[in-house]
Each structure stands twice: as C-alpha cells, then as structure tokens.
C-alpha cells in the first residue's frame, strides 16, 4: 500500500512533510482535504486527526499527525532512501535534536507570526497586517538569525556539515518570510547561502508551489 498524505496543497505543514517524502524518494498519494467545506472537522477526519488539523499520513494503516513527528518517522523508517536526514550516532543525533529544537522554539514563533500577519490574515480574513506587530516580530527574528549567522559561519548546516531534517523544517516559513522581507535573510550572508542551497534542492522545487 502506498503511503497517503492528507492535507491542503499550499499548507505550510503539508509542504514540510512533502519535502521529506521527496528527499527520501518515498512514493506517496496526496489526498486533498477541502478546508473551506470543513472536511477537516468531519467525524471521519477527526477519527484520524483529533485536533482537526493538517496534515496526517496513513502508512499502510499506521496513522500519524504533526509534521515534524511525521518527518522523523519517515527518516527513521527509510534510512537508506535518499540522504539519511536523521543521524543515528549519539553525538550527531544530539546536535540534530538541538538544531531541531532551535527551529521550533527560536525560529518558528517569529517567522510564523510574520507569515500570519503579512500573508494569512489577508488570505483568510481580508484584513491588513498589524505593521507594528510585524516590525516587532521581524526584530525578534533578526536577533535569532544573527545567532544562525554565527552557527552557519562555522558549518554548512544547522546541525553540522550534513543536511538533516532540522534544515528542511525551516523551508516553508523561511521561504514565505523571504517573500515579504528578503532583506532579513540577504543581510546575513551565511544564512542567505544556506537558505538558497536548501531552496535549490529538487525536493523543495517539487513542492514549493503546492503539493500534488
């Protein structure tokens, strides 16, 4: 049975999973959920994803949700497909988990906040961004990216010199923030080089405009 990914084509979290599937060269079927019709709140959907969020996967009867958990599962189940992405050596794995924690706790809050204000607020509600809030979030993100600049001046990727899930986790929000404020990345040369390299990977090129 081919793995199925359930979600919305342009969803940030769906892309986070899809880029891993592409990196690992794992065949999958994409099942589109119509969020406008409330399909993610139906009893059938909630049986699989009790929070009514996207995405989730069904891998031959094994159902899993939360994009980062899905990514870890895929990398662990298919270690020999594509790049490893999830180190097994204890030291390398600790550095990966450190970088993954940094992405979720330091990068994601301000990056997702900027996207919520500058993109999603208009798309879903027809409202303008709170520019004072955007400025505050951008300042916070800039401070975090200054630390990234230091890290990436010493190594190629956020967990060392090999690409891991932690790098790829950044792609959806980083690309959207770059779209509304390119300078926040371009003003930091090592961060900019790192992001450009990730964005050039065939896996991201395949899903950046929507999962199919």
CATH number at residue 41: 3.40.30.10
Judged against a pLDDT cut of 90, whether residue 129 lies above it is answered with no
Distance CA 125, CA 1 (A): 39
pLDDT per position as a tens digit, 83-116: 999 999 999 999 999 999 999 999 999 999 999 9
Residue 97: predicted pLDDT = 98
One domain, residues 21 and 103: no
pLDDT per position as a tens digit, 13-67: 999 999 999 999 999 999 999 999 999 999 999 999 999 999 999 999 999 999 9
Q: Is residue 180 part of a domain?
A: yes
One domain, residues 20 and 115: no
Lowest-confidence region among 11-15, 30-34, 120-124, 152-156: 120-124
CB atoms within 10 A of CB 107: 22
One domain, residues 125 and 195: yes
Q: Is residue 207 part of a domain?
A: no
Residue 53: predicted pLDDT = 97
Q: Is residue 83 part of a domain?
A: no
Q: Is residue 85 part of a domain?
A: no
Domain that holds residue 108: 90-202
Judged against a pLDDT cut of 80, whether residue 137 lies above it is answered with yes
C-alpha distances in Å from residue 187, one per residue of 4, 57, 123, 140, 193: 40, 38, 28, 15, 11
One domain, residues 106 and 185: yes
Q: Give, for 96, the enclosing helix (H) or strand (E).
A: helix 90-102
Q: DSSP letter at 104?
A: I
Residue 42: predicted pLDDT = 97
Distance CA 171, CA 151 (A): 18
The pTM of this model reads 0.95
């Amino acid at each position: 049975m081919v793995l199925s990914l359930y979600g919305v084509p342009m969803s940030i979290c769906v892309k986070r999973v899809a880029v891993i599937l592409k990196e690992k060269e794992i065949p999958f079927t994409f099942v589109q959920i119509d969020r406008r019709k409330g399909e993610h709140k139906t009893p059938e959907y909630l049986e699989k994803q009790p929070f009514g969020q996207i995405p989730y996967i069904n891998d031959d009867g094994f159902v899993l949700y939360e994009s980062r958990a899905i990514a870890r599962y895929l990398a662990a189940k298919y270690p020999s497909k594509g790049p490893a992405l999830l180190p097994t050596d204890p030291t390398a794995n600790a550095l990966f988990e450190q970088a993954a924690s940094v992405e979720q706790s330091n990068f994601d809050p301000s990056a997702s906040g900027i996207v919520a204000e500058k993109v999603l607020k208009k798309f879903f509600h027809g409202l303008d961004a709170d520019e004072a809030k955007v400025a505050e979030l951008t300042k916070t993100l800039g401070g975090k990216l200054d630390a990234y600049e230091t890290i990436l001046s010493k190594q190629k990727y956020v967990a060392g010199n090999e690409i891991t899930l932690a790098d790829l986790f950044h792609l959806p929000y980083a690309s959207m923030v770059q779209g509304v404020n390119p300078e926040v990345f371009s003003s930091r040369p090592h961060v900019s080089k790192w992001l450009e390299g990730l964005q050039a990977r065939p896996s991201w090129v395949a899903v950046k405009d929507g999962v199919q």
